[in-house]
Structure 1
Amino acid sequence: MSKGFTLVELLACIAIAALLAAVAIPSWRGVMLRAQRSDAVQALYAVAAAQERYRMVYGRYADQAGPAPPVGLGLAASERGWYRLRIERADESAFVASARPAAGSPQAGDAACRLFTIDALGVRGSAPAAPETCWP
């Protein structure tokens, strides 16, 4: 009676573990990318709220996200730094703000949702995928 594993049994276990890892790791990466999109969503909601406060004080929407008031909103990046924020258009009555993955961030590999947008009416947008896909 033998009290150990044969080389064939050991190799079979290693092969099964490698196969499971090959399937699980890309799936896990996709789940993480989708979950981390909330950083962009939260940041754009913060920009929209800051824009409304800015408009109450200055009578127009800010045309820059990064610099502090009165020049801009003081919001250059998302809370975790995975997205860069930008005001695409702004005037007295409307604005469009965007969030794009920061270079070197985990979200830079998110090919489905490269751009998030929100406007003064709260209309959400994204590209290349539809807002229903990108906005949780």
Structure 2
Amino acid sequence: MRKLMYLIMAVLLFMGCSKNRRGQNGDDQITLQVQQVKEKNAEDLAFRIRVFAHLPADFKDRKQLNEKMEYGIDSCFFRLNRGKQELPSGVIPVANGIKDCFEYVLLFSGSVADKNEQLVYRDKYISGKTYQVILK
């Protein structure tokens, strides 16, 4: 337990020292965290996204939800670029080992970062709501 607390504190310290733009949005069913990732290739934009599902302890279809969130998520994300929807060129699921947390890396090819970056997540499997995150 003590090791876990040290690990959590180290991750929070690391994320707090990062200069990457980030944002968060959510409600009682989902928390969405977004962080822009610096890419070596200046022509691509990348974002790390975490979707935390606040599910009841007796939720029975966890395995089916995990499968849907891994294989059926590619059309749920888009970026608002000057008022127009831009779909990601790639959505890569990341296995993170955190219960009820789904992590992804979104890639946008040939895109330029906007000052007020906005990412939108349309949930299909947990709440059915749309979440918009503005990166600061």
Measured against the shorter chain, the TM-score band is under 0.3
Structure number with higher relative contact order (C-alpha < 8 Å, ≥ 6 residues apart): 2
Higher helix residue share: 1
Larger radius of gyration: 1
**What TM-score does the superposition give when structure 2 sets the normalisation length?**
0.27
